[in-house]
């Protein structure tokens, strides 16, 4: 039974992806709710039925009070069958209706609606560009992905569990009282007006207060995760107290926003208690007055009393449900600031897979300043022949990393074009472009998974033998076999920790190298690929790297000039332009910037004094 209701909606059902999600709260929720339309209609219908049943029971109890005024035997002879039918209904049919209502809410909507939102939100965010992620806290992004789905699910639950039920119940109460005596509707209507005013006052303040509190919580998460992610820096610079103060500011701001929110609930609760007193005295008092005048039966008074006491008990729940609804909508609204952001770096509508034949790379008037008007690249023209090995040298901020990021299309160039085998990279799919490029970075972070999974990330369909061969080429196989994590997993099954923190810098670099070796892409980008290695391992890795380069088009960034001295061509970048190019010997003979770098080297690296701040 449970499985039937749990599988009524598939949260992973196919859907048309969009680069620009709806920006309004209603449009956002309506878009995600498409697969649930039928279920939502059924939930609303069942809420009305359940409310009608409850109102009917109150009416039935009033009727029972009225008929009990007669002779017992006469009552039984006249109404026995009806009383039995009423008992059967209460024992069997009422629980059945309630069960279906609860199953729809608890087992169909609640597990699946949040799952659908979390899945689609993660899928959308994962399509964002590298630059988009660089402009936010990873912790805040993750927090919004995690807190928005349950908030949306809770909002939907309150709509059907409380709001729809309450509306149906109030309408039924008006009908019930009006049927007994139209004058009984007057105090209830007056109470409804005051109750609606209180609700309006509360919810108009709860939504922004809730959003402010949610924003503050996300800020705390971002700051705390930032400290945990960079725990080595925190400890190394002895900034324990500084980080506590940094977090405390955000935590205290969260406390302040939460205090403001809870003040609203206190005012609401006190006002509601006073208002409910008006309801009880107004409806029951009027019913008694009518009874004294002979205008209402005892059953009518009993039904009116039961109804108002039930409404008294419900009003707090309804108000809380309503404020919960708007509070959760505030959380969803805050989450939309991340989840609903448009994808700005997209494939062209007619994008096709990159067809790489030779690996020729052309940069034509390539310009990119990150929207600042300076820095990055400025009108670069460059052709890299198929299979050519090119080294990039330059001060910090000269544009080396920008060139690589643009080639990978982590950003779209502000001006100019990049062609690979004559195909503009803006006209091919991003995934096909990056599948043809292997890259080893200076700071190679690993996934918080096993060594095996990290290496196979380069080529998931590789065999065990191919994976081990790649690790051996990267001089990593031997140390991998000695690994053991806190859970007792060893060798290639050992977990490496967040960003590979359980491995040394050199070990991380060798695992990253193994991953790229296994990928075996025809274009190879090296960004200080051996900088984290000691001299002995580097010497062994250099032979591996030169072997990897065979038949590939290579671009290598290096501060350790000896690592690129044997490249076919070396480019010297300065202030976003190519100022020198040629072989190592030719550049030394020119006596220009490259020659000055070479003479100023300290320990094989560019002299830091020669570097200019970005």
428 found inside a domain: yes
Output the pLDDT for position 26. Answer: 83
**Residues 345-361: pLDDT tens digits?**
888 889 999 999 899 99
Q: Is residue 515 part of a domain?
A: no
pLDDT exceeds 70 at position 456: yes
pLDDT at 148: 87
Helix (H, G, I), strand (E, B) or coil at 417: strand
- What pLDDT does residue 143 have? 80
With vertex at residue 68, the alpha carbon angle to CA 66 and CA 74, rounded to the nearest 5 degrees, is 120
Residues of the domain holding 207? 2-339
Confidence band of 362 (pLDDT split at 50, 70, 90): very high
According to the model, what pLDDT value does residue 536 have?
62
Q: Which residue has the higher pLDDT, 71 or 344?
A: 344
Q: Which of 305, 339, 373 is the last residue of a domain?
A: 339
**pLDDT value of position 352:** 93
- What's the CATH number where 558 sits? 3.40.50.300
Give me the pLDDT at residue 580, please.
Answer: 92
DSSP 8-state secondary structure symbol assigned to residue 609:
G
Does the structure show a pLDDT above 60 at 289?
A: yes
Identify whether residues 299 and 421 lie together within a single domain: no
> Looking at the structure, do residues 129 and 196 belong to the same domain, yes or no?
yes
For residues 117 and 228, state if they share a domain.
yes
Which of 304, 339, 374 is the endpoint of a domain?
339
* 8 A C-beta contact, residue 398 and residue 574: yes
Q: What is the pLDDT of residue 480?
A: 92
Residue 392 is assigned to a structural domain of this protein:
yes
Residue 489 φ/ψ region, left for φ over 0, alpha for ψ in the -120 to 50 degree band, beta for the rest:
beta
Dihedral angle, C-alpha 508, 390, 345, 435, nearest 10 °: -60
Write out pLDDT tens, residues 128-185: 888 888 887 777 788 888 888 888 888 888 887 777 767 777 777 777 777 766 777 7
Map tokens 């990897």 to a residue.
Answer: 548
**Do 108 and 207 have their domain in common?**
yes
Residue carrying structure tokens 């790229």 = 516
pLDDT, tens digit (0-9, with 9 covering 90-100), for 211-220? 788 788 878 8
* Most confident of the following: 61-70, 178-187, 233-242: 233-242
Q: What is the pLDDT of residues 572-604, one digit of tens each?
A: 998 889 999 999 999 999 988 988 888 876 444
Do 315 and 402 lie in one domain? The reply is no
Q: Which residue has the higher pLDDT, 81 or 532?
A: 81
| Average pLDDT of the chain, as a whole number | 83
Question: Looking at residue 210, what is its pLDDT?
Answer: 77
Residue the block writes with tokens 């610079």: 237
DSSP conformation class of 462: -
Which is higher by pLDDT, 55 or 36?
A: 36
pLDDT for residue 30 is more than 80: yes
pLDDT tens sequence across 487-514 = 888 999 999 887 777 888 778 888 888 9
Q: Encode 147-160: b = buried (16+ Cβ within 10 Å), e = exposed.
A: bbbbbbbbbbbbbb
85, 159: one domain: yes
Q: Given this model, what pLDDT does residue 384 score? A: 94
Nearest to 474 by CA among 449, 433, 438, 447: 438
Residues in the chain: 614
In a domain, 505, yes or no: no
Q: What is the pLDDT of residue 284?
A: 80
Is the model's pLDDT at 299 over the cut of 80? no
Q: How far is CA 412 from CA 96, 118, 431, 598, in A?
A: 59, 28, 15, 34
At 397 the three-state DSSP class reads coil
Handedness of CA 122, 124, 127, 130 (dihedral sign): negative
Domain count, the chain: 2
Which tokens go with 148?
């928005």
The Cβ of residue 561 has, within 10 Å, a number of other Cβ atoms equal to 19
- Has residue 508 been placed in a domain? no
Smallest CA-to-CA distance from 120 within 211, 8, 31 is with 31
Residue of higher predicted confidence among 85 and 542: 85
Over residues 65-108, the pLDDT tens digits come to: 777 776 778 878 887 888 888 888 888 888 898 889 889 888 99
Q: What pLDDT shows up at residue 535?
A: 65
Q: Sorting pLDDT into bands at 50, 70 and 90, what band is 533?
A: low
Between 545 and 377, the more confident residue is 377
Are 161 and 213 in a shared domain? yes
On whether both 176 and 43 belong to a single domain, the answer is yes
Q: Is residue 144 part of a domain?
A: yes
Same domain, 262 and 368: no
Ranking 5-14, 273-282, 443-452 by mean pLDDT, the lowest is: 273-282
Judgement on whether residues 322 and 260 belong to the same structural domain of the protein? yes
Q: What is the CATH number of the domain that holds 13?
A: 1.20.1560.10
In a domain, 559, yes or no: yes
Number of Cβ atoms within 10 Å of the Cβ of 463: 10
Per residue in 408-427, pLDDT tens?
999 899 999 999 999 999 99
If asked whether residues 335 and 365 sit together in one domain, one would say: no
Three state DSSP letters for 544-568: HHHHHHCCCEEEEECCCHHHCCCCC
Place 481 in a pLDDT band, splitting at 50, 70 and 90: very high
Residue 510 included in any domain: no
Query: Beta strand 577-582 with 569-574: parallel, antiparallel or unpaired?
Result: antiparallel
Dump pLDDT digits (tens) for 435-450. 999 988 877 778 888 9
List the one residue out of 157, 160, 179 whose CA is nearest residue 48.
Answer: 160
Which of 309, 339, 369 terminates a domain? The answer is 339
Nearest in space to 338 (alpha carbons), one of 446, 221, 465, 232: 221
Residues 172 and 280 in one domain: yes
Taking CA 199 as the corner, what is the angle to CA 180 and CA 184, rounded to the nearest 5 degrees?
Answer: 10
The Cα–Cα gap between 554 and 520 comes to 12
């Amino acid at each position: 039974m449970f499985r039937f209701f749990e599988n009524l909606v598939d949260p992973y059902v196919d859907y048309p992806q969009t680069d620009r999600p709806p920006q309004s709260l209603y449009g956002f929720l309506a878009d995600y709710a498409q697969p649930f339309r039928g279920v939502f209609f059924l939930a609303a219908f069942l809420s009305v039925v359940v409310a009608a049943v409850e109102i009917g029971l109150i009416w039935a109890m009033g009727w029972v009070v009225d008929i009990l005024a007669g002779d017992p035997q006469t009552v039984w002879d006249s109404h026995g069958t009806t009383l039995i039918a009423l008992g059967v209904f209460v024992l069997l049919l009422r629980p059945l209706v309630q069960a279906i209502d609860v199953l729809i809410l608890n087992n169909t909507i609640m597990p699946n609606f949040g799952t659908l939102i979390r899945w689609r939100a993660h899928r959308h965010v994962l399509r964002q560009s590298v630059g988009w992620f660089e402009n936010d806290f990873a912790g805040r992004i993750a927090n919004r992905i995690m807190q928005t789905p349950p908030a949306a699910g809770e909002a939907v639950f309150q709509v059907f569990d409380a709001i729809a039920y309450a509306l149906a119940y109030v309408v039924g109460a008006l009908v019930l009282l009006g049927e007994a005596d139209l004058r009984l509707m007057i105090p209830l209507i007056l109470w409804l007006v005051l109750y609606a005013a209180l609700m309006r006052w509360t919810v108009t303040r709860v939504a922004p207060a809730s959003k402010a509190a949610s924003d503050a919580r996300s800020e705390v998460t971002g700051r705390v995760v930032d400290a945990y992610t960079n725990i080595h820096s925190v400890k190394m610079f002895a900034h324990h107290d500084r980080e506590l103060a940094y977090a405390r500011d955000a935590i205290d701001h969260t406390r302040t926003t939460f205090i403001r929110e809870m003040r609203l609930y206190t005012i609401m609760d006190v006002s509601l208690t006073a208002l409910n007193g008006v309801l009880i005295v107004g409806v029951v008092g009027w019913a008694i007055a009518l009874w004294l005048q002979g205008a209402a039966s005892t059953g009518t008074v009993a039904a009116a009393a039961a109804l108002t006491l039930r409404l008294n008990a419900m009003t707090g729940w309804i108000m809380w449900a309503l404020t919960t609804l708007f509070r959760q909508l505030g959380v969803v609204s805050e989450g939309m600031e991340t989840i609903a952001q448009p994808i700005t770096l997209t494939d062209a509508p007619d994008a096709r897979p990159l067809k790489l034949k030779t690996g020729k790379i052309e940069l034509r008037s390539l310009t990119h300043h990150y929207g600042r008007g300076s820095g990055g690249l400025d009108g670069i023209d460059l052709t890299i022949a198929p299979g050519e090995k090119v080294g990039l040298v330059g001060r910090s901020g000269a544009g080396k990393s920008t060139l690589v990021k643009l080639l990978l299309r982590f950003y779209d160039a502000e001006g100019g074009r990049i062609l690979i085998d004559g195909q503009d990279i803006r006209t091919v799919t991003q995934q096909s472009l990056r599948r043809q490029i292997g890259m080893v970075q200076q700071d190679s972070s690993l996934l918080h998974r096993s060594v095996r999974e990290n290496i196979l990330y380069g080529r998931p369909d590789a065999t065990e033998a191919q994976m081990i061969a790649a690790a051996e080429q990267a001089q990593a196989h031997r140390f991998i076999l000695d690994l053991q994590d806190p859970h007792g997993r060893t060798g290639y099954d050992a977990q490496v920790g967040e960003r590979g923190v359980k491995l040394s810098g050199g070990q991380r670099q060798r695992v990253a190298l193994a991953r790229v070796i296994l990928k075996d892409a025809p274009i190879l980008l090296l960004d200080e690929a051996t900088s984290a290695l000691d001299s002995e391992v580097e010497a062994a890795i250099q032979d591996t790297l030169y072997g990897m380069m065979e038949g590939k088009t290579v671009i290598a960034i290096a501060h350790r000039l000896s690592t690129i001295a044997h490249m076919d061509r070396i480019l010297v970048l300065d202030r976003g332009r190519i100022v020198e190019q040629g072989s190592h010997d030719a550049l030394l003979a020119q006596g220009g910037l490259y020659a000055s770098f070479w003479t100023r080297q300290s320990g094989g690296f560019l002299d830091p004094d020669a570097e200019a701040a970005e």
